[in-house]
Amino acid sequence: MKIEQRIDEAVAPLREKIRDLELSLSQKYPPVKFLSEKDRKRILITGGAGFVGSHLTDKLMMDGHEVTVVDNFFTGRKRNVEHWIGHENFELINHDVVEPLYIEVDQIYHLASPASPPNYMYNPIKTLKTNTIGTLNMLGLAKRVGARLLLASTSEVYGDPEVHPQNEEYWGHVNPIGPRACYDEGKRVAETMCYAYMKQEGVEVRVARIFNTFGSRMHMNDGRVVSNFILQALQGEPLTVRMVRASVSVGTDVMEVHEMCSQGNPEEHTILEFARLIKSLVVSRSQIQFLPEAQDDPQRRRPDIRKAKMMLGWEPVVPLEEGLNKTIQYFSRELEHQANNQYIPKPKAARMKKGRPRHN
């Protein structure tokens, strides 16, 4: 037998092992569709390691696109997208959108911004910079590379609304100097910037006004009703209801929109009804406790989704109880990890004026 033949025979099993190894590595990812070069888009998701952004990443990756997540990990975490790390269609960049970014993309989903009151109030100036300078940077990028940009806006642009339900034509009722203003006004000006770039520079923009959303990967300590109630019910603590005639509407879908649209679930519940529902779903013995009203808390929220329905055929698909049950399961698992000494960061209290200066 020739020496080459002997070598081939010896190497053959090793080759097979390598093939198996490669196969097992490639199978660790969720399945992705194959898209031809023509249909495959290069998509940037800012804030893609956060709650909403990571679900959007999953959707676009599974649809077969190339996704670049840009995140400074202020409230997001690598764990939310770790299942894509190493995939040839995926890239994760640790970057703050307040700094310019130069990459080549076809579409931008601009989600980078803390979303819950304790997080956006923690450093209001930074929240303003993220929503203003960060949005300008992303619009500049969109203009430079001819990309379409979607801004994740919020129902907070309506402030404490005087119109109910809220539709896209309502201009809002925001306190410009209140504790929530850094976020509310930041998002309002971000929307203004989008339309200025559209009118002046011809950039294709979309704005989605998202209402209160919950689900897996949301922050357990985000200080909002759904997470508060679930956490309190699971831990046997009193469910704290603020004494207002408040009601919320909720949504659990992530989607692509083509104009300015309000998105959420038009089903409306009082906060007390929510507390009772979550208490019963968790089967918790927690009491319900009433607290005084917080400053500038919106009294009522309910999206008018007729435009989204008419133009996009969009409406919420996850029923409330199903969404809550999934979120409760997620929180239970996270609490188990916590009990096993796995660290879950808690947002720090809002900083007051004094103290060590912080680099923004």
Ligand X SMILES: NC(=O)c1ccc[n+]([C@@H]2O[C@H](COP(=O)([O-])OP(=O)(O)OC[C@H]3O[C@@H](n4cnc5c(N)ncnc54)[C@H](O)[C@@H]3O)[C@@H](O)[C@H]2O)c1
Task: By CB under 6 A, tell whether 113 contacts ligand X.
Answer: yes
Window contacting ligand X (CB under 6 A); options: 2-10, 94-102, 196-204, 269-277? 94-102
Task: By CB under 6 A, tell whether 135 contacts ligand X.
Answer: no
- Taking residues 265 to 304 in sequence order and writing x for each that binds ligand X by CB under 6 A, - otherwise, the string is ----------------------------------------
User: Which residue, 213 or 249, has its beta carbon nearer to ligand X?
Assistant: 213
Q: How many CA atoms lie within 13 A of 7 on its CB side?
A: 3
- Identified binder of ligand X from the candidate list 32, 62, 98, 281, rule CB under 6 A: 98
- Identified binder of ligand X from the candidate list 60, 108, 142, 152, rule CB under 6 A: 152
Min dist CB 52 to ligand X, Å, is 3
Please give the structure tokens belonging to residue 150: 């979607």
Is-catalytic flag, 183? yes
Window contacting ligand X (CB under 6 A); options: 45-53, 82-90, 160-168, 230-238? 45-53
User: Which residue, 68 or 212, has its beta carbon nearer to ligand X?
Assistant: 212
The CA-CA-CA angle for residues 53, 255, 126, to 5°, reads 35
Please give the structure tokens belonging to residue 324: 């809550």
Task: By CB under 6 A, tell whether 324 contacts ligand X.
Answer: no
Contact 156, 187 (CB under 8 A): yes
Contact 136, 108 (CB under 8 A): no
Instruction: Kindly compute the dihedral angle of the four CA atoms of residues 160, 165, 166, 167, in this order, to the nearest 10 degrees.
Output: -170
- Identified binder of ligand X from the candidate list 68, 107, 166, 213, rule CB under 6 A: 213
Q: How far is CA 306 from CA 258, 266, 302, 303, 315, in A?
A: 14, 10, 12, 9, 9
Residue written as token pair 């888009």: 41
Closest CA to 268 of 207, 316, 325: 316
- Identified binder of ligand X from the candidate list 43, 109, 114, 232, rule CB under 6 A: 114
User: Which residue, 71 or 160, has its beta carbon nearer to ligand X?
Assistant: 71
Residues 6+ apart with CB under 8 A from 226: 212, 214, 218, 250, 274, 278, 324, 327
Strand order in the sheet with 205-210: 90-94, 66-71, 42-46, 107-110, 148-154, 205-210, 261-263
Task: By CB under 6 A, tell whether 74 contacts ligand X.
Answer: yes
User: Which residue, 66 or 96, has its beta carbon nearer to ligand X?
Assistant: 96
Task: By CB under 6 A, tell whether 205 contacts ligand X.
Answer: no
The whole-angstrom separation of Cα 238 and Cα 218 is 21
The whole-angstrom separation of Cα 251 and Cα 214 is 7
Task: By CB under 6 A, tell whether 53 contacts ligand X.
Answer: yes
Task: By CB under 6 A, tell whether 150 contacts ligand X.
Answer: no
User: Which residue, 53 or 161, has its beta carbon nearer to ligand X?
Assistant: 53
Task: By CB under 6 A, tell whether 49 contacts ligand X.
Answer: yes
The whole-angstrom separation of Cα 32 and Cα 65 is 9
Please give the structure tokens belonging to residue 175: 């306190």
- Among candidate residues 109, 158, 183, 197, the one labeled active-site is 183
Residues 6+ apart with CB under 8 A from 169: none
Task: By CB under 6 A, tell whether 112 contacts ligand X.
Answer: yes
Min dist CB 358 to ligand X, Å, is 14
Task: By CB under 6 A, tell whether 161 contacts ligand X.
Answer: no
Window contacting ligand X (CB under 6 A); options: 60-68, 74-82, 305-313, 335-343? 74-82
Window contacting ligand X (CB under 6 A); options: 206-214, 238-246, 274-282, 292-300? 206-214
φ/ψ of 111, rounded to 5, equals -115, -5
Task: By CB under 6 A, tell whether 73 contacts ligand X.
Answer: yes
As annotated, the active-site residues are 183
Rule CB under 6 A: which residues touch ligand X?
A: 46-47, 49-53, 71-76, 96-98, 111-115, 130, 134, 152, 154, 210, 212-213
